[in-house]
Amino acid sequence: MDLFKTLIELNNKIELEKISKEKYESDSDDDESEKEFIEDTRQKFINKYNKKNNRQFKISRFKDSK
């Protein structure tokens, strides 16, 4: 059960990192202070939503079509 819990936590963090990169995009022509600000904003986003009660799952149901 601990392995499952650890995998869920890791998956949640990875998904939050993906979302933060999509939400807070960085251009290649940004200067260093803008890049630091974007990275800081991304980290705040991840820390805000990386809580136990925010771990969400997609529920899928398989129905037989008869």
Sequential pLDDT tens for the chain (66 residues): 778 888 888 988 999 999 999 999 887 777 888 889 999 999 999 998 888 776 655 545 555 554
pLDDT at residue 27 in the model:
79
22/26 Cα distance (integer angstroms): 9
pLDDT at residue 31 in the model:
85
Using alpha carbons, select from 27, 5, 3, 18 the residue that is nearest to residue 49: 18
- For the chain, which residues make up each domain, given as ranges? 1-24+33-43
pLDDT at residue 35 in the model:
87
The structure tokens 């890049």 sit at 35
pTM of the model as a whole? 0.69
pLDDT at residue 23 in the model:
92
